[in-house]
Amino acid sequence: MSNSPAERESFTAFITAFVAMHTFAWICCFIIIITVVFSPNINRQSTWINLNISWIIACFVFAFLLTTGQLYKTSPHPSVCLFQAAAVDAVSSLVAGTMLALSLQLWLNLRLNSGKLTGMSPQQRDTLLIVMPYVVPLIEFLASLGYAGQHPQQVALTDSGMFCGFTNPIPGRIASIYSAILMIPTASAQVVLWHYSYRNWYKISKNSRNDLVTMIRLGLFTVFGIVSVIVSILNLTMQVNSSVVNILESLPPVSFVFIFGLQQDLFRAWMFWRTYPTVLKSTSTVWSGIRLIKTPTENEQSQTKTTWTDA
C-alpha cells in the first residue's frame, strides 16, 4: 500500500483531478446550501438539504490532504492522515444514506396516505429520514478513529495516492458493502421516480420546455445514482485502491452541482440587484426545483394529478 515518490509522480494527473473535483464540489455545495437556507424565495426538501450537507462533508474529507497542505507529500502528517483514514469510509456510507433518504421521501410524497404506509406523521417521518443516515457513519467513524489510534502503523496513503486509508482492507470492505446495500434500492427508487415523471410529462406537458429540463435533470440524477452503485461494487471487488474508480466516485457530487445548482431560483437569489416578478409560494412538494403539485381530479377527490415545473 505504500507509494514511492516515482509511483506518486505517475499518478499526479489523477490525484490533481480527484482533489480538484472534490474541492470544487464542496465549495459549490456550500454556496448552494447557504443560498437555499437564507433566501426566502427558495424551497427545497429537508432531505435534499441533508444530501447537500453530506456532499460537503464527504468532498471536504476526500480533499483533506489538499486543504491541509499535505497532498503531494510522500508522508503526510500522521494526525491528518489518521483523521482522513477514519473518515473516508464513513462519509461514503453517509452519502449513500442521505441519497436513499431523499429517494424515499420523494417516493412517499407521491403516495396517497403515506402516513398509513409508514405508521407515522409526515413530520416524524421526515425527522427520521434526516437523522438515520448519520447513525451508522458516526459509529463507523468513531470505531475507525479508535482503531487508527491503536494501530497507527496501519494508516498510510492508499495505492492511488489520493487519500489516506488503512492497510487492513476490512473496514473499507464493510463500508463498501453497507454503501452497496443502500445504493441498490436508491437507484431503483430513482428509476421509478423518473418513470413516473416521464409518464406525467408525456401525458400532461410534453410540449413544455421547463418540464423537459426537469426530465433531463431527473434522468441525469438517476444515471449518477447507478454510477454510485457501480463504484460501490467495484470498491468491494477490487484488491487495490484504483485511481480510475476514485475519479468515477468524484463524478456524482460534481454532477449534483451542475444538475441542481444551475436553476432559475438560485440565479435570481445570486443576482439580488435585479428585480423579478413576484412568484407566489406554492404548498406543493419541492425537490431541488422540481414541484409536484397535487390537485383533485374531477372524478375522484382521492386521486391526484401531478404536474412538473422547473423553478
Rounded Cα distance between 44 and 266, Å, is: 11
Largest Cα separation within the chain, whole Å, is 72
pLDDT tens per residue across span 45-68: 889 899 999 999 999 999 999 999
Rounded Cα distance between 261 and 178, Å, is: 28
Rounded Cα distance between 301 and 10, Å, is: 65
pLDDT tens per residue across span 277-290: 655 444 333 333 34
pTM: 0.81
The string of DSSP letters for 65-79 reads HHHTT-TT-SS--HH
What pLDDT, on the 0 to 100 scale, is given for residue 250? 87
pLDDT tens per residue across span 102-144: 888 887 777 654 555 556 777 888 889 999 999 999 999 999 9
Q: What is the dihedral of CA 59, 64, 65, 67, to 10 degrees?
A: 100
Task: Return the amino acid letter for 12.
Answer: T
pLDDT band for position 256 (cuts 50, 70, 90): confident
- In this structure, the chain runs to a length of 311
* CATH number for 253: 1.20.1070.10
pLDDT band for position 205 (cuts 50, 70, 90): low
Range of the domain at 289: 5-310
Q: Which residue has the cell 431560483?
A: 265
Q: How many structural domains are present in the chain?
A: 1
pLDDT band for position 27 (cuts 50, 70, 90): very high
Q: For residue 11, give the C-alpha cell.
A: 499518478
